[in-house]
Structure 1
Amino acid sequence: MAQSSRAIVIGGGIGGLTAAVALHRGGWDVTVLERAPSLEPVGAGISLAPNSLRALDVIGLGDEIRDLAAWQGDGGLRTPPGRWLSRTDADTVAERFGGPLVLLHRATLINSLASRLPSEAVRTGVAATLADPGDTDRPARVATADGELEAGLVVAADGIRSAVRRALFPGHPGTVYSGFTTWRVVIPVPGVEFASHETWGRGRIWGSHPLKDGRVYAYAAALTPAGERAPDDEKAELLRRYGDWHDPIPAILSAARPEDVLRHDVHHIAEPLPAYHRGRVALVGDAAHAMPPTLGQGGNQAIEDAVVLAGHTDDLAAYTAARLPRTTAVARQAVKVARLNMMTGRAGIAVRNGVIAALFKAAPQMLLKGFAGIADWRPPQAPYAAGKAPAGNHQRRRPREGRLHRTR
């Protein structure tokens, strides 16, 4: 096949694989180069909002993911002693934004995406660097240990520490520390039933969410100096910080082993890039617009990027024009939310909690306003644009086992 029809994707994460599937369906000869020895992701759960699910509809995966995931939304916001500040339900969220908010393990999403690609398309254990971004009169070139590859399009999905981003925009300052670290676990917690929740304390938050397979996805975040680590182990650190918070947090911590706990400092791109492309190279996901996880939109925006890019392969400037303003706005909102839920002043927290509780009592729908313009986004392509819709309808009501207040 001609090099102009060959696409190389650097990075086998969510954004990279979504781009690969979208390009493959569009007739491109796609090769995914992943540095890690396998596609098994380092991570835990991921929340997919209606915006990214509609993007997955374009590549025929939306209904499959809805079926594999738990519908999210039955629960709400709590204080450390357990008082509910607000409550939501999944049906209200789905009605407001035209589709559900769902939760699943990252590995499930990665496996579904990879299954839509020819087996020879994905090469793991391959470190790749950008040798030449190319231009209108020459292909891009990617260097590997086995030699160079030429392509009509290179998709850089190499994450928050993107080497391709640095090569394309060497004068850009890159990422900055967001001020907080995160912990995540996915574990079975037998005999524990609870409503999905996020709990805001002083400079700390905790979230607990049942997955459809019966496990629990829990995450925590706290203001800490960059690079700080527990003197013993991270489970002990979580017990010190959250062990006296409301149920089911103590039960989750009791069920977790030290090796179950993942910890990562959070970094984001504070100064937007001048563009998401150069030559024949396009950046997607964290490589383009790393953001704090406070809106749960990092992976969602990567999926949007991938699907929009597949529709602009002949004009990467149009891709930048479509994606840079939107992702910049979402990233800035995520930073604002981080400041809100990581507050430390007692007086400010009291005011914040009072406002949230009052808004919920007076007009519950107002609390969803912050997601407007994000979750209601629709891709430029029609759903199932590349083929017939799979069996079923993505507007169907959720199956009973997907309800988040049930834990097996």
Structure 2
Amino acid sequence: MKGILKIAIIGGGIGGMCAAIQLSKQGYQVDLIEQRDTLKPLGAGISLSAATLRALKEIGVIDQVLEIAGSFSLIELRTAEGHKIMQAPVLPAIGAEDLKNHNAGILRTKLASILETRLRELGVNVIVSNTVEKFQNHKDGVDIQLTGENHWRHYDIVVGADGIHSKVRKNIYPDYKGLKFTHQGSWRIVIPRYFEHLTMYVGKTLKAGMTPISKEESYLFVLDHHEQDEAIPQNEWPQRLAKLLAEFGDPLTRIKQKIDEGEIEEKDIIYRPLYTHLIETPWYKDRVVLLGDAVHSTTPHLASGAGLAIEGGIILAEELARADSIEDAFKQYQARHFDRANLVISSSTRLGEIEISQGSPEEHRNIMIQTMQRLRERI
């Protein structure tokens, strides 16, 4: 689009990096601003659904990802004791049928490293250990002042990709209170790869699963129920996770034993309470637009949170390339992406509700199948 030269992306997560890559490909000068001192995120593994792999193919990093990721083409469901109930093939996303395996997992740090290499090759200017201190958003651009600076930086567009507790969103919607606690929490650790495919265990009150993230490793996730949105002290994480794993049989009993013996410590465990939200009013104001968790956040039930953010970056870049005005581009970006985000969030929320209430396994399975089928479609 004519009239756009310089773009700032606030937030160097997966969505922010992918948006930086796509916008840089179009010739824009892109500054990627991250408040931490690195673009490598905290966290264990990340699931890459068929739709997410298709998006990474569009970004241009699919070969590097699949070279080190843990790929799989089946999902296996087991009882808490480990008896196999069923297995189902994973179908490819439309437009990515050429990929050998249709789902994968990878360490978050390794995916971030691949994306960072690509965006630096494209000349994206990465600014770390900094964030926006002051903000002036108007109809012909955005002026921002970074922490510790006494001068203003001018941009034609600012993209707020700074996560679920977005400061950029607060600038647009200062009274926004849309976050909803789902009454579930997510526990994750990296463990050996015990199975070839993604394997899920269904207990009486819990769900656990192991997603391959390399040839040798998987990440274990456990979803549990919380009546209140409580802060759990980190020093209690090993004890809490070990207690949860007591509901399951082998090989999860081996993981519990490693925790009990101190081989797995609190630094090895990631715990997050799960929230959702979706902004239904405009995702933009003047020259500022929101992306990823800043505008829509989901739970991990459909392994699509990161995928939504990546797709959002692709769509935003496409619309800026074809629209006649920035406002038209922002409107079309939201119009194309809203229904998909709403589908993922509403379906994931319902899956969590079924798990908490020990509801219908048939409804749970049908929601999973139907939603994943729709996500195979192109936006």
Identify the TM-score tier after normalising by the shorter chain: 0.7 to 0.9
Q: Which moved more, 1:9-18 or 1:202-211?
A: 202-211
Change (3 A) 1:131 1:228: closer
CA distance in 2, matches of 1:154, 1:247: 49
Q: Does 1:369 align with 2:370?
A: yes
1:216-248 deviations in Å (ceiling 9; x for gaps) = 210111111212426962121112122241221
Amino acid at match of 2:372: F
Q: Does 1:266 align with 2:274?
A: yes
Change (3 A) 1:353 1:373: closer
- Residue in structure 2 matched with residue 74 of structure 1 by the alignment: 74
CA distance in 2, matches of 1:212, 1:288: 31
1:371-398 deviations in Å (ceiling 9; x for gaps) = 1111x1325xxxxxxxxxxxxxxxxxxx
Match of 2:144 among 120, 126, 142: 142
1:66 match: secondary structure: helix
Match of 2:348 among 334, 342, 346: 334
Q: Does 1:323 align with 2:340?
A: no
Change (3 A) 1:272 1:182: same
Could you state the TM-score of these two structures normalised by the residue count of structure 1? Answer: 0.80
Show the 5 A alignment for 1:19-34: 19-34=19-34
Show the 5 A alignment for 1:152-191: 152-188=156-192
Change (3 A) 1:318 1:356: closer
CA distance in 2, matches of 1:377, 1:105: 26
- Residue in structure 2 matched with residue 94 of structure 1 by the alignment: 92
Q: 1:338 Cα deviation (Å)? A: 1.1
Match of 1:275 among 265, 276, 282: 282
- Residue in structure 2 matched with residue 362 of structure 1 by the alignment: none
Change (3 A) 1:200 1:230: farther
Show the 5 A alignment for 1:182-201: 182-188=186-192, 192=194, 196-201=198-203
**Paired residues of 2:298 and 2:348 also in contact (CA < 8 A):** yes
**Paired residues of 1:129 and 1:164 also in contact (CA < 8 A):** no
Change (3 A) 1:308 1:355: closer
**Paired residues of 1:55 and 1:378 also in contact (CA < 8 A):** no
**Paired residues of 2:72 and 2:197 also in contact (CA < 8 A):** no
1:153-180 deviations in Å (ceiling 9; x for gaps) = 1111100001111211234322121111
Q: Does 1:310 align with 2:317?
A: yes
- Residue in structure 2 matched with residue 400 of structure 1 by the alignment: none
CA distance in 2, matches of 1:164, 1:186: 32
- Residue in structure 1 matched with residue 244 of structure 2 by the alignment: 241
1:182-222 deviations in Å (ceiling 9; x for gaps) = 11111447xx5575311222332111123214122101111
1:233 match: secondary structure: helix
1:252-289 deviations in Å (ceiling 9; x for gaps) = 233433321111111111x5331222211121110010
CA distance in 1, matches of 2:173, 2:204: 38
2:92 match: secondary structure: helix
CA distance in 1, matches of 2:205, 2:144: 43
Q: Does 1:297 align with 2:298?
A: no
- Residue in structure 2 matched with residue 218 of structure 1 by the alignment: 220
CA distance in 1, matches of 2:8, 2:93: 39
Change (3 A) 1:120 1:277: closer
Change (3 A) 1:130 1:78: farther
Q: 1:341 Cα deviation (Å)? A: 2.5
1:373 match: secondary structure: helix
**Paired residues of 1:9 and 1:16 also in contact (CA < 8 A):** yes
Q: 1:132 Cα deviation (Å)? A: 2.3
**Paired residues of 2:54 and 2:93 also in contact (CA < 8 A):** no
Amino acid at match of 2:164: I
Q: 1:129 Cα deviation (Å)? A: 4.6
Q: 1:3 Cα deviation (Å)? A: 8.5
Higher relative contact order at CA 8 Å, sep ≥6: structure 1 or structure 2?
Answer: 1
Q: Which moved more, 1:57-66 or 1:99-108?
A: 57-66
- Residue in structure 2 matched with residue 393 of structure 1 by the alignment: none
Show the 5 A alignment for 1:54-65: 54-65=54-65
- Residue in structure 2 matched with residue 401 of structure 1 by the alignment: none
CA distance in 2, matches of 1:170, 1:232: 34
1:55-107 deviations in Å (ceiling 9; x for gaps) = 222232223222322213434122212233321245xx338884511111111
**Paired residues of 1:184 and 1:220 also in contact (CA < 8 A):** yes
Query: What 5-or-longer segments of structure 1 have no aligned partner?
Result: 360-365, 380-408
Amino acid at match of 1:216: S
**Paired residues of 1:86 and 1:356 also in contact (CA < 8 A):** no
Amino acid at match of 1:240: K
1:102-122 deviations in Å (ceiling 9; x for gaps) = 111111111111111236611
**Paired residues of 2:10 and 2:160 also in contact (CA < 8 A):** yes
1:128-160 deviations in Å (ceiling 9; x for gaps) = 25612332xx21122202232111111111000
Change (3 A) 1:200 1:129: farther
**Paired residues of 1:294 and 1:334 also in contact (CA < 8 A):** yes
Change (3 A) 1:367 1:266: closer
Match of 1:202 among 201, 204, 215: 204
CA distance in 2, matches of 1:154, 1:232: 39
